Structure formats: C-alpha cells, structure tokens
Amino acid sequence: MSHPSQFSLLGKRRFLPFFVTQSLGALNDNLFKQSLILAILYKLSIDGDRGIWVNLCALLFIIPFFLFSALAGQFGEKYPKDQLIRLIKLGEIAIMVVGAIGFAFDHLTLMLVALFAMGTHSALFGPVKYSILPQTLHDDELVGGNGLVEMGTFLSILAGTIGAGIMLSSQHYTVIVSGVIISVAVLGYLASRAIPRVTADTPELRLNWNIFSETWATLRLGLNQTPAVSRSVVGNSWFWFVGAIYLTQIPAYAKEWLYGDETVVTLILTVFSVGIAVGSMLCEKLSGRKVEIGLVPFGSFGLTVFGLLLWWHSGHMPQNIQANDWLGVLGFSQAWWVLLDILGLGVFGGFYIVPLYALIQSRTAENERARVIAANNILNALFMVVSAVVTILLLSVAKLTIPELFLVVSLLNIAVNTYIFKIVPEFTMRFMIWLLSHSMYRVKHKNLEAIPDEGAALLVCNHVSFVDALLIGGAVRRPIRFVMYYKIYNLPVLNFIFRTAGAIPIAGRSEDEATYERAFRKIAQYLNDGELVCIFPEGKLTSDGQISEFKAGVRVILEQTPVPVIPMALQGLWGSFFSRDPNKGFFRRLWSRVTLVAGAPIPANEATQKLLRERVSELRGDVA
C-alpha cells in the first residue's frame, strides 16, 4: 500500500500554517541575532573588547530558556496552543519594533533588550511548537512532520545567518534590517492566524508563577518519565551539546585550518544545514512512517565516525598567507573531504534528533507533554552552556587544537550514547531489527492496517526462520509480545533482543511444565492489559518450507482471554540464512524480498486451529 510523501503535509491546513509560522520565527531569531552580532563587530562605536559583547549576546538569548521554559510548559497545557502561538507572534512584532528602533538609532541597549525578549519569545514558543504536532498529525505522520520541522528550522537558521551578512554589507543596513525583521514578524503572525483550533490539554491546571520552583519541578517531571522518554530528553540535549561545539567553532576552523575567509564559513554552514535537512527528510522513509528509535544508534554511530574523520582530515590543507574564498578552497581536494565530513555530521545528526523528538511526543501523556518538552528545552540550554565551558577549558586551558576538540567530542559521544543505550536497551534492540530489515532483507507489508491501533489482539503467523519475530516486530507499528520456543529465546545475541522486547519463552508441558504454565499466565496478563501478543502456532521452525499443523496452544489462550485473532504470513524467507533449509547459504537470497501479509480479524469463538492454519496458508500462497 503506497503512502503519500511527507511533503503532502505542506498542502494541509493542519500543518502548513504552523510550518510557515515556526520557520519564519526561526528565520527572524537568526536575522536579528546575527545582524546584532555583525553590527557589534563591524558597525557600532564600542569601547573595549567587542568579543565580550558578542558573548553577552549569546548569554542574553539563552538565559530566557532557563527562566521561562517552565512557564511555557504550563501555558502549553492550560491554554489552546493555536491561541498561544498567535499571542507569541504578536509579541514578536512588538519586540522587533523595539529592535528596529535600536538599529535605527544605533542604540545598543535597546538592541540587547530586544535580543533578550526574542530569547523569551523562543523559550515560550518551543514547548508549544513541539507539543502541538501530536494533536494535529496522525501517528503515521509524526516522524515526517518532525522531519519537516527540523528541515525548516535549520534552513531558516542558515537563511537568517546569510541574510544578516547580506543586509549588514549595505550602507543603509539600519533601514533594511529594521524593515525586514518587522516584515518577517508580521508575516509570521499572519501565518499563525490560519492555524486550526486546538483544544487545551489540561485547562484546569493551576499555574505556578514561581519560575524557580516550577523550573525544578518541570525538570523532575521530564527526567522521571519512562526510561525511554527521559533518556531521549538527555540524548536530545546531548545533540545540542555536540552541535553547539561544532557550530561555534566553524568560523575559527574555517580561518585557521582551511585558510578561508567569511565565504568559507558560509559554505560550511550551508553544507551542515543541508545535511541536517536531508537527514531529517530521510527519517520518514527509513523508519517506515513510524517512530523508529532504531535510527538513533545509527545516527549516533554516524556522528562519531564523521567527527573522527573531520579530525583526521584536518591539517592537510596547503598553507596560504592570503585567505581563500570559497571557490579557492574548493580547488583543494583536502577541502572536499572536510566538507563531506561536515555533510555526514549533518545527515546523521538528522537521523539522531528527529526520532528522539518524535518519541518524546508520542510516549508522553497529553496532560504532561508540553511540560516535558519544556524540561527538554531547559536541559538543552544547560547542555549548551556546559558545552561553552568545556570548549573554553579544552582550548584555553588544555591547549587543544580545534580538530583535537572534535576528536574529544567524538569520543565523548561514544561514552554518552553507550550509557543511554545501556539504560534503555530498546534503542539497541530496535536498531538491530531496523538493520536486519534494511540490510539482509527488503521487507514489504500488505494489509497491516488489519492490526488494531489499540486494544488486545492475538497475532498468529507461520514460522520460517530464527528472525521471524524481528521482522514482524520491525514491520508492525505497535509493540508486540512474542511467544517463542525457549531454545530459540535462549540463542546467543538474539536472547538480548528477545529479553529487551519482553518476549515470552514457552516449552512443551512435558519438557518444562513450570515454563509452560508461566508462559500462559504472562500471555493472559499482556492480553488483559490491551497489548498485542504474537504466537507461532506450529510450535517449531518449518524444516521443509511447508506450514505444519497448528498446536492447541492458541485455543488455550483464547479460552482464557477471548480476543480477536489476526492471521499473518511471511513470504520469501525459506532458503535464507536463518531458515532450516539444508541448501541455504549466507549469500543465498541475500537482500531478497520478504513480504509480511495480514488478514482480516477472526473472532475468538471462530478461531479454530484448522481455520487459522487455512487462513495463514491462503495468505502465504505459493511463496515460501
């Protein structure tokens, strides 16, 4: 079944006005902030070290995230988000008027006040921005929607950075900057007026106006979520730690290691932003339109590899007394390797960050989602401040070079993500499932919409190989509890995956009665809790590619917990490396097409062993 591209969301009113609004907000943030920094460096008459004023700008923009994110999280749950967005956008217009007056009169204090206010605007907008997506998008659109948002954000950041440079190069920069920032703010507000009505999650919530106690409470709420959500918040913040280090060092790196001028800085920023956009866009295709956290270890691996390659490829440029422009730098083959590394960092950064955002959104309760995202923003800001401190210590105290700093960050990335994946092994499990279904096999799905989005159901399927459970688990959107023969459950390596997934080992009553009884108790418990349970009724792997008789275990389950039964069939696995075909080989049927077919639900009172076997055989057809 084909699905529309994620870009089709740009044609829907429930997404497009929001997308335009948030992209224009990110654009204006960076137009104003970068214009102010360039004005401080090159235009304004300032006594003392201009670098101190530039650092003050960074501080003024980030402080509001510590002060007001917790309030923003409360607002996002108590009030309708569409109304909040419009109020925030009206505030942006007022802020930009103040900033424009500051530019018109070269009044640095007014510009700094406006910058602090824009930081406040962004802090208030963040929790609303990410918590509105699960309310306006369908489950199978969430990854694609987040990918579009990340693409829009990073391309807007790039456009703002480049646009500021263009505006400040004009003799009439004060008029141009003033006009542009007010115009963008007005356009953002007009776009927000088209955002459809969204109901408040928790209108009865009592606001805590004490920003310090509420900030602490919000952080505790975010970090006390389920391990998958809380460690996703940590992983998200770690991404901004790494990203902040790379982005802040790009100007110095371009000058000192590529011997380039400011156009080379723009080139690197462009390549990095395009990489993030491409990675964000690919997430939906690679994840099969579901929240696939298996991409997170893949993204982490790429961030480490390309960070190490960036360190390795640095320092090979021929030294040049005169600074090269971007065309001059591209004349050196060494620079192409560096740009490829930067592109790789961006692409794998997209693979890393988009699934984390989608997981936080999809697995957090509606009445807590905005506050959890607020906790994420607070932690993001903290990690970015810590990244600045770490950078100062490593470059100024430890006397490392910038490439050596990149090396340290890459090694730290291994340590931090190893910790996250150890605490939440679901990341690793999903990665192995994703890798299997995207390397050895090409998995196609048919009629999986027959599997209910919620509520209990028993899935029954033919048993062809040792990796049947992995392929089914990777294809179905909902988590599944697999019932499997205990000897397969205990296989090395696979046992880790099965344990992490909460699989249920079962043995024949004559083999191990305790395991047999325990398995049926767990099956009944999971079905009563509204979960999906999958069983292979043959009770063994096929030894000849044919479907054996179904055992009586299915009837025992349905007598205890009568739930709908979904027949399924795997096609194309017989003869593969993980099957029991005596003629199999590792390369035989490698990258072959495997199809998982689901049939219509069968009521529990009609689901006899004979009928289920007939349905599964019909679904499999002649393709073993």
Tokens 């043995």 sit at which residue?
507
In-domain check, residue 18: yes
Does 449 share its domain with 578?
yes
Q: Residue 214: inside a domain, yes or no?
A: no
Instruction: Give CA separation, 85 vs 153, 192, 211, 378, 616, in Å.
Output: 16, 7, 21, 20, 51
- Same structural domain for residues 154 and 243? no
CATH code at position 179:
1.20.1250.20
Q: pTM for the full model?
A: 0.79
Domain match, 458 and 525 both: yes
For residues 164 and 257, membership in a common domain is answered with no
**Helix (H) or strand (E) run with residue 48 in it:** none
Q: 253 near 317, Cβ under 8 Å?
A: no
241 and 165 co-located in one domain: no
Is 510 within a domain? yes
Would 105 be classed as within a structural domain?
yes
Length of the chain: 624
Does residue 90 sit in helix, strand or coil?
helix
Contacts of residue 452, defined as CB under 8 A and 6 or more positions apart, other chains included, come to 564, 601
pLDDT of residue 251: 83
Q: Using a pLDDT cut of 90, give the percent of the chain over it.
A: 44
Cβ neighbours, 10 Å, residue 441: 23
> Among 73, 30, 65, which residue's Cα sits nearest to residue 385?
65
Cross-strand bridge partners of residue 443: 594
Residue 547 lies in a domain: yes
* Residues spanned by the domain of 75: 12-207
Q: What is the DSSP string of 481-519?
A: EEEEEHHHHTSTTHHHHHHHTT-EEE--TTT-HHHHHHH
Q: Is 434 part of a structural domain of the chain?
A: no
Q: What is the dihedral of CA 218, 412, 361, 74, to 10 degrees?
A: 20
Final residue in a domain of this structure, among 207, 236, 268:
207
Question: Which is nearest to 256 in space by CA: 405, 381, 413?
Answer: 405
239 in the Ramachandran plot: left (φ > 0), alpha (ψ -120 to 50) or beta?
A: alpha
Distance between CA atoms of 488 and 495, rounded to whole angstroms?
Answer: 8
Contact (CB, 8 A) for 616 and 459: no
For residues 507 and 505, give the distance between their C-alpha atoms in angstroms, rounded to a whole number: 7
Which residue type sits at 177?
V
Residue 550's Cβ-count burial label (10 Å; 0-12, 13-18, 19+) is buried
Question: Are 360 and 458 in the same domain?
Answer: no
Last residue of a domain, one of 424, 448, 466: 424
Tokens found for residue 181? 């920032």
Phi/psi of residue 544, each to 5°? Answer: -135, 5
Q: Are residues 191 and 237 in the same domain?
A: no
Q: For position 591, what pLDDT does the model report?
A: 59
| Residue 537 falls inside a structural domain | yes
108 plus 238 within the same structural domain: no
As a whole number of Å, the CA-based R_g of the chain is 28
Classify residue 108 by burial, with Cβ atoms within 10 Å: 0-12, 13-18, 19+.
middle
pLDDT on residue 320: 65
What is the reported pLDDT for 443?
A: 78
CA distance 92 to 115: 11
Distance of CA 164 to the CA centre of its chain: 29
- CB distance 54 to 118 below 8 Å: no
Tally of domains in the chain: 3
For residue 485, how many C-alpha atoms fall within 13 Å in the half-sphere facing its CB? 18
- Going by their DSSP bridges, the two strands 592-598 and 565-571 should be labelled as antiparallel
First to last CA, the chain: 21
For residues 399 and 459, state if they share a domain. Answer: no
114, 95 contact by CB (below 8 A) = yes
User: Cβ(430)–Cβ(292) under 8 Å?
Assistant: yes
The residue among 150, 172, 207 that closes a domain is 207
- pLDDT at residue 130 in the model: 85
* pLDDT attached to residue 289: 66
Are 325 and 261 spatial neighbours (Cβ–Cβ below 8 Å)?
Answer: yes
Kindly report the number of other CB atoms within 10 A of residue 192's CB atom. Answer: 25
Residue ranges for the chain with pLDDT beneath 50: 1
Rounded to the nearest 10 degrees, what angle do helices 426-439 and 295-313 cross at?
Answer: 80
Alpha-carbon span 239 to 352, nearest angstrom: 8
**118 shares a domain with 191:** yes
Q: Look at residue 47 in the predicted model and tell me its pLDDT.
A: 76
Does residue 455 form part of some domain?
A: yes
CATH of residue 590: 3.40.1130.10
Residues 199 and 246 in one domain: no
pLDDT for the residue 1: 45
Verify that 235 and 137 share a domain, yes or no: no
Q: CB under 8 Å to 214, separation ≥6 — which residues?
A: 70, 71, 74, 208
